[in-house]
Structure 1
Amino acid sequence: MATMVTATTLTSTVVTATRAARDLLGALTAEHGALSLHVSGRYGVSVICLERGELAIGPRDVLIGHLGDVPLYMMTSEIKYWEGSPLIVDVLRGIGHGFSLEGPRGVHFILTKRVAAERPVWDADAVLAAGPPPSMQSGSHTDD
């Protein structure tokens, strides 16, 4: 069993999940018990899901929020990229990164962010259903 270290909490970030992610977390919790999530990789798109006692939390990990009773951690090296943006945990088809608990189901968790941080985001399904932001007006940017 991994040793639990108290992690710093990132308070300026809203963390939410799509219905698919919430449903999968519920099913995994029913099967495995208490869970923890950890954002993995450079500009961590991968989210590793492990039984709570199996996730080694170290001094470079930050608690960025909870999805229900499931804590979500991230390494401090990732904070500047994600900080201040509403974060959305979702599920995609296909085998994910590493040894995450959802892998045998043929799906994996991912993390995305919403750029407009001035508005809190509480319903990830509504955010994703809204689609991409309006495209830039013609001539308002260059490709230099």
Structure 2
Amino acid sequence: MVERVVATPAAEELIARLKAIHGKLMFHQSGGCCDGSAPMCYPAGEFKVGGSDVFLGRIAGCPVYIGAAQFEYWSHTQLIIDAVPGRGAGFSLEAPEGMRFLTRGRVFSDAEAEDLLALGPPARGDGVH
């Protein structure tokens, strides 16, 4: 089964470091419509997920959400969360680590898109995932 969101090994390594410091984590992609956008990483429960946020899946055990408007831009794409050298944005937990999370995309194949369509729409977020 195809996943809507995956992490690179570099992202998984950074997530493990951040979990050791902060405990359980969550991600939210609230802005950006293309490669190079930055998902925000928070301690679990620090970001209030709304009813219009879409649950994409988990990376390294952490739930990943996206704003409904952003999901419309990205719905045909698998989000690939990567970590690269640089300064994290805003309140994202990786900011002081000298790394930043980065969203890349890969367009789903026709077969993958059909599989996702058969599953129905993704769950809307309520912080329970």
Shorter-chain-normalised TM-score: which range? Answer: 0.7 to 0.9
Q: 2:29 aligns with which of 24, 32, 39?
A: 39
In structure 2, list runs of 5 or more residues that go unmatched. 113-129
| One-letter amino acid matched to 1:53 | G
Would you say how many aligned residue pairs link Structure 1 and Structure 2? 110
Kindly report the root-mean-square deviation, in angstroms, between the aligned alpha carbons of the 2 structures: 2.0
| One-letter amino acid matched to 1:42 | G
| One-letter amino acid matched to 2:77 | S
Q: 1:12·1:84 contact (CA, 8 Å) conserved in 2?
A: no
In structure 2, the residue matched to 1:29 is 19
| One-letter amino acid matched to 1:101 | L
Change (3 A) 1:117 1:87: farther
**What is the identity percentage for the equivalent residue pairs of Structure 1 and Structure 2?**
36
In structure 1, list runs of 5 or more residues that go unmatched. 1-10, 121-144
How far is the alpha carbon of 1:119 from its aligned partner?
A: 6.4
* Correspondence 1:1-144 to 2 at 5 A: 13-43=3-33, 45-118=37-110
How far is the alpha carbon of 1:12 from its aligned partner?
A: 7.4
**Structure of larger gyration radius:** 1
Matches of 2:30 and 2:102, distance apart in 1: 10
| One-letter amino acid matched to 1:82 | W
How far is the alpha carbon of 1:25 from its aligned partner?
A: 0.6
Matches of 2:12 and 2:69, distance apart in 1: 27
Residue by residue, what CA displacement relative to the aligned partner does 1:18-70 show, whole Å, maximum 9, x if unpaired?
Answer: 10000111111111110000113131711110100211111121111101320
Matches of 1:95 and 1:15, distance apart in 2: 22
